[in-house]
Chains A and B, each alone.
Chain A
Amino acid sequence: DVKVTQSSRYLVKRTGEKVFLECVQDMDHENMFWYRQDPGLGLRLIYFSYDVKMKEKGDIPEGYSVSREKKERFSLILESASTNQTSMYLCASGGAVTSGNEQFFGPGTRLTVL
């Protein structure tokens, strides 16, 4: 059974804190993605990675960074959390997008920044 796991389902942090969101996949996928999902705005791509140590900016990378030291793990980092980063964060992994490979999503982390 394919699986994408995220380190926390719910997280509460304070403004200015450094936040790490971890994502692990067990499908040997090369591609991994971080999205945030907000009411009325849908799923928006923050960063993605096609290979170890490789990263590409998505549509809304400001205020975020990522790390991919191992193929199975993709971390999203909020260097200094702000209240406008309160959101649902979804990680996904998959094969080559250009070949129509589906993305498998993790259960999501609901982050609240106070």
Chain B
Amino acid sequence: GQNIDQPTEMTATEGAIVQINCTYQTSGFNGLFWYQQHAGEAPTFLSYNVLDGLEEKGRFSSFLSRSKGYSYLLLKELQMKDSASYLCALADDKIIFGKGTRLHILP
């Protein structure tokens, strides 16, 4: 099975950088997703990593290391609107989500 672990909550300051980690234990998967979910809203897609390494998309970057069973989402130049939950998810024939990390941004 897949065991996906993320910190429950994190706090960071507006303008700063934050790294949200995701570790997993699985026998195999196709790729790893990151989704963002604002309170009371549906999740929206942020990134998908298949190969090891860093994928950069504007202020957001996602990293994957299959050998270490580890991914992270890096958010730069934090804005108040980045206050949300961030969900790590593994994809094989279906997508299995972690419990999410609630990120609080302080002014």
Contact = CB atoms under 8 A, between A and B. Distances in A.
Given A42-B99, A97-B30, A102-B33, A108 B94 contact: no
A40 B8 CA distance: 8
A97 B93 contact: yes
A103 to B, nearest CB: 6
Contacts of B45: 102-104
A101 B54 CA distance: 19
Contacts of B87: 42-43
A49 to B, nearest CB: 11
Contacts of B93: 97-98
Interface string A91-104: 00000011110111
A89 to B, nearest CB: 11
Nearest to A39: B99
Interface of A: 33, 35, 40-45, 48, 56, 58-59, 90, 97-100, 102-108
